[in-house]
Structures are given as structure tokens and as C-alpha cells.
Structure 1
Amino acid sequence: MVNSEPSWRPAVVDPRSADRPADPEGLRQYLSGTDVSDLLAREKAVVFRGFGVTPETYDSVADELLPNRLAYVHGNSPRTKVGRNLYTSTEYPPEFDISMHNEMSYAHKWPTRILFLCEQAPATGGATPVVDGRQWLEAIDPEVRAAFAPGVRYTQNLHDGMGFGKSWQQTFETEDRGEVDAFLDGTEAEWRWQPDGSLWISQLRQATLKHPVTGTEVWFNQADQWHPAGLGEDAAALADVIPEDELPQNATFADGSPIPGEYITHVQEIGMRLAVDVDWRNGDLLLVDNIAAGHGRRAYTGRRRILVAMSDEPA
């Protein structure tokens, strides 16, 4: 196993380095003359700081960074939609860290860019850690990497309005089963509607991925965020009383065999150790190449409001 410390940090662009006014229009001017794809290919993640972006001025800037904003359909994280495909970043309790991950890497199609906006920085903590996916992969024990090589199988049991986890209505942003069927039909997933109105889904996905621009191989899955061992004591307790095939979500190896809990813990610990914290200031933006870099969240106190949007533009 490679035992290293972070050797990479996100780039920071501020009014001085951009040679633009310290306001949202100044940032928009800078971005209009910047090849964002090239910038992300070099840097993997970029913080835009000191331009005072607000939710009201967000769209003019975001349109330069995310030309094709995506809806968070089939997302497994609890969020609230607050604008044009703009969401709260997560609604997990503030006392918990959120482990490193690439957004929707469990899905058939994932966003290539993630854009965060800090509307309200917390009193303490609450950083968004980011990790170089290549370094994360190389630091994972070879035995663990080999076990994951055939892929990860994700399963979901989405209730019909009452139950643990998210409902299928929340997950797919619709009340129409036909729309869900049409969506899943193009995802190479297996699914079935249950007699109680719930929806079971199974998906076999990759564990690593080669970046489409650089060719670099990165760790690219969310097994640890679907497996009970990676979700804290409450999830572990739930797994003790609910049959494995009835859990709201779960991850196994590609052949359906269980992933050892110590593998999950190892992957999480490596990712968090190698992560670099982006500490928030009001008005900050953080643009992440969702393939090259993973992200997470540190625990915090006070009110924290980070908004997020996604795009499938070329990385």
C-alpha cells in the first residue's frame, strides 16, 4: 500500500489573480475568456474566492461553468431543490462527516462537473474535502483493489412514501411509475415493482474509471456510502434487524458476495486521510471535476448552507 500524504491541492482564483473586479460580473468576465475544460483537466478542482457570488447572481456565473445543468434524478443523497437544477448540497446531520465520493458514480451516467456555492459558512468546521482520485486509488491496498476489480453491485429498496431511506418519488422527482420505468430502461439496471408499491433496483457498475481527457485511472465508486459498514452505527444496527436484501441500499462485490466491513473502512480512511479541506467563506464557488476528484463534507456547528449544481459537459 502506498502510504503518502496529499500531494495536490485545488487551485484558487481570486480577483487579484484573475485581474478582474471583485464581484460576480468580474468573475463572469474572467470565465468567459477561460477554457474551463482545460482548466479542470490541469487542476481537477478550482476555488473561486472573493467575488461575492450569491444565489441571486449564481445563474450568470454558473452558466459559464455548467452549460448543461442536470436534475438530480436517481440521486441517493437527501437534498432540496431550490432553483434551476440547483439543490442543497446535503441534508445529513451536521455532527457527521460525509466520506469521499464521486457524485452518482453508482449510476449509469454521472455528472462530469460539480459546482458548489457557499451561501452561509458554518460557525465551525463544515469544510468540503476534496481528494485526487488517482492518489486515492494508488493508496488503497492491492488486495482490496483486486477484490473490487470486477465492479460493485448496488441494490436499492425505495419505499412508496413510508419507510426507511428515500421513496422512489423523491429519488426520481416524479409520481409517475411510467416515467421511472422509462428512465431505468436506459440504465442497464434490473428493477421490479413490489406488491407493497416499493421499487427494487440492482445495478452493476465500475470500481475504477479512466478519465476521458487525461486517461488517468481513478477510484470511482460509492461502495462505502451504500454498505452498512460505511454508514455509521444506525445503519449497522438497521442491518442487524432487516434482511440484507431488504435494506434501503446496499453494496456487494460484482458477483453478489458480501464486501468485508474492513475493506469499506480501509477505503474510507484512505480517502479522508488524503483529502484536502476547502474551508468556506460566504460567496465562494468550488468547481470539481467529478471524475478526477472526489469530495465529501466535514462535520460542523452553526448554520451551513452550501448549494450545488451538476453538469454532464465534457470533463
Structure 2
Amino acid sequence: MSWQPHEITPETVAAPATAAGLVDHLRAEAALDHLLTEHKALVFRGFGVTPETLESAIDLLLPNRLAYVHGNSPRTKVGKNVYTSTEYPPEYTISMHNELSYAATWPARLMFFCEVAPTTGGATPIVDGTAWLEALDDEVRDAFAAGVRYTQNLHDGLGLGKSWQDTFESTDRDQVQELLTDSGATWEWKRDGGLRVHMVRPSTIKHPVNHNEVWFNQSDQWHSAALGDETAAALARIMPEDELPQSVTFADGSPIPGEYAIQVRDRGLEVAVDVPWNSGDLMLIDNISVGHGRRSFTGPRRVLVAMSD
């Protein structure tokens, strides 16, 4: 049987089917860290959590909640370091990725909360990073061995993609420069007030506890081939690739073949496990062991996300 997340319900842990029952269970669960490392993803169903009762559960699942600094996807902040999940049109599937894997530091845990379940579809696929790595052709794994180089072009408030102010949750240039220096990135301020950032990162890492090697980069999402032929062609007509909001090459600056990026994207989705949502469900994932995405959907789906180190 292929890997599956571990499901926790009021029945399996002999707890009341209430948000308070979940909180009491989490307070008494001394082995939560071990459970997460062992199972890689935990799904909590049937506890009737609401936005009003969510805070207590988050505090136990994510003891040190982080801001979404240097995040590249569109989100809305709705609470204390709680955000909407990526706000892409519902008809699109979001491919697999580990949160902030392109950055110098990344969250160890992610928590998802389903406030409103979709009418159809809208599952969150999750993928075991070791299985994703093993699903790739040897030729592709070998090509990525030296890592990847990400480029971001962040505008100053008007343009394609995100602004540098939104990306770093700051309007202070000195603060942003300090953050980038600490991360090992290189950058330049452009004449129009925008910011170009370059980052060289590994393509795989080893989990700090179980030492499993996992695929851990967002090369496919940053590659123009993943935009689709029509979108990529339209953008190519108006700007060179290194002027796009985000782009990626191999670490030495040589281009990544489009078919490699497509294989990475498609194999990740092929070996993923779909987690469907009911309103009130929670999921906690190990962000190193497990990548996540989103299936297309209809209806008013609203899933919130928070993260911690």
C-alpha cells in the first residue's frame, strides 16, 4: 500500500467531537512531534473546528507561527500569521511544492484549515518527497545535482507579479537588504524602483530527523514551460525570460530543459495522495518530508494556512 497521511478523529482518540475536544487531545498528546515525523502528515477530522475556535488549536500545532516573508504566491493575511491558501483561479491545478523551498530558510510545519469546503474537487494533494525524487528519471536527477538558481523580479507597486513590499512584508529597503544578505542571495535595485533577486539553492535536502533525501525545490513552478505554451509564448513576446516575475536555471546559469520541468511537475502530481476537505478539517504536514498542491474545484472553497519553524 502506498504512503497515506495519518487520520485522527474523535473516535480514534476517544475525544469529544468538538473543537475543545481536539484542543484537550493536543494538550495531552506528548508524542505529536514523533507522530508527525513518522507519518509526515496528520489529518484531523470531525472536531467541528470553526474560525472562532481555530486559534487554540493553531497555538498547539504551530507553537512559533511565522510570517509569510519572501513568499511568491498571492495570499491574503487574515489573522496573526494566518493566510488564505494560494489565490489562483479555481479551474487550475497547483503543482506540488514545499513551502519556501527556494528561500534560505523554510517552515518546518504547515497547517491547513478548511473553513469552507468546495462544491466539487479542491482536494489538497500531498506527496512524499522521497517518492517524488525516486519517480524522476536518472537523467533528470543527475542534471539537478548541483542545484538551481532562482531569479525574482519584484516591482515597486505596479507591474506583473508581486511587489517587493508585499513579498517581504516591509517598505524598508535596508531591512529587505539585510534579510537578503543573511539569506546568501544577491540582488540589485532597478531604475524603476523594482528589485531583482538571485538565489542558488539545492535541489534535494535530507530530513534533519529521519535523514531521508527528498526532492526540495520549485524549479518546475518557476520555469516558463510550466506556464503552458500559450501563456509562455505571450510573455516571451513582451519581455525576455530573465525579466519575468520569476524564472529558474541550473545553478551554473545554464537553462533547464522544458521537458525536465514538465517531468518534475507531472511525476509529483502522479505520486501524490489527494486529501479531500470537509468544513472544519485540519491538516498538519512536515514541510520537508511532504510537498503539497491544490486540485481544481468549483464552489466557494476557503482554506487557510499557517506555518512554523
Within 5 A, what are the aligned runs for 1:149-228? 149-228=145-224
2:143 aligned with 1:147, yes or no?
A: yes
The match for 2:19 is 24
How many Å separate the matches in 2 of 1:240 and 1:12?
48
Per-residue CA shift, 1:126-151, capped at 9, x if unaligned?
00000111111011000000000000
The one-letter code sitting in structure 1 at the alignment partner of 2:289 is A
Specify whether residues 97 and 25 from structure 1 end up closer, same or farther in structure 2 by C-alpha distance, changes over 3 A only. same
The match for 2:281 is 284
Any idea what SS the aligned residue of 1:155 has? strand
Any idea what SS the aligned residue of 1:7 has? coil
Any idea what SS the aligned residue of 2:174 has? helix
Structure 1, unmatched stretches of 5+, are: 1-5
The one-letter code sitting in structure 2 at the alignment partner of 1:85 is N
1:229 Cα deviation from its structure 2 partner: 0.8
2:235 aligned with 1:265, yes or no?
A: no
How many Å separate the matches in 2 of 1:235 and 1:20?
51
Any idea what SS the aligned residue of 1:186 has? helix
The one-letter code sitting in structure 1 at the alignment partner of 2:271 is L
Any idea what SS the aligned residue of 2:151 has? strand
Within 5 A, what are the aligned runs for 1:102-113? 102-113=98-109
How many Å separate the matches in 2 of 1:102 and 1:182?
24
The match for 2:301 is 304
Match of 2:246 among 246, 249, 257: 249
1:234 Cα deviation from its structure 2 partner: 2.1
1:236 Cα deviation from its structure 2 partner: 4.6
2:110 aligned with 1:114, yes or no?
A: yes
How many Å separate the matches in 2 of 1:150 and 1:240?
31
How many Å separate the matches in 2 of 1:236 and 1:25?
53
The match for 1:3 is none
Structure 2, unmatched stretches of 5+, are: none
How many Å separate the matches in 2 of 1:223 and 1:239?
19
The one-letter code sitting in structure 2 at the alignment partner of 1:243 is P
Aligned residues with identical type, % of pairs: 64
Within 5 A, what are the aligned runs for 1:57-76? 57-76=53-72
Per-residue CA shift, 1:136-195, capped at 9, x if unaligned?
101100000000000010000000111111111111112221221121121000001111
Match of 2:236 among 235, 239, 247: 239
How many Å separate the matches in 2 of 1:239 and 1:158?
18
Match of 2:5 among 10, 27, 50: 10
Specify whether residues 93 and 193 from structure 1 end up closer, same or farther in structure 2 by C-alpha distance, changes over 3 A only. same
How many Å separate the matches in 1 of 2:218 and 2:246?
11
Identify which range, 289-298 or 35-44, moves more after superposition.
35-44
Per-residue CA shift, 1:207-249, capped at 9, x if unaligned?
0010000000000000011111112342453134311221110
The one-letter code sitting in structure 2 at the alignment partner of 1:307 is L
Tell me the number of residue pairs that the alignment of Structure 1 and Structure 2 aligns: 307
The one-letter code sitting in structure 1 at the alignment partner of 2:274 is D
How many Å separate the matches in 1 of 2:50 and 2:231?
36
The one-letter code sitting in structure 2 at the alignment partner of 1:104 is L
Any idea what SS the aligned residue of 1:229 has? helix
Any idea what SS the aligned residue of 2:71 has? coil
How many Å separate the matches in 2 of 1:211 and 1:110?
13
Any idea what SS the aligned residue of 2:112 has? strand
The one-letter code sitting in structure 1 at the alignment partner of 2:38 is R
CA contact (8 A) 1:228 1:239 kept: no
The one-letter code sitting in structure 1 at the alignment partner of 2:123 is A
Any idea what SS the aligned residue of 2:235 has? helix
CA contact (8 A) 1:157 1:199 kept: yes
Q: TM-score, normalised by structure 1?
A: 0.96
1:36 Cα deviation from its structure 2 partner: 1.6
CA contact (8 A) 1:224 1:231 kept: no
Any idea what SS the aligned residue of 1:51 has? coil
The one-letter code sitting in structure 2 at the alignment partner of 1:275 is A
How many Å separate the matches in 1 of 2:185 and 2:135?
31
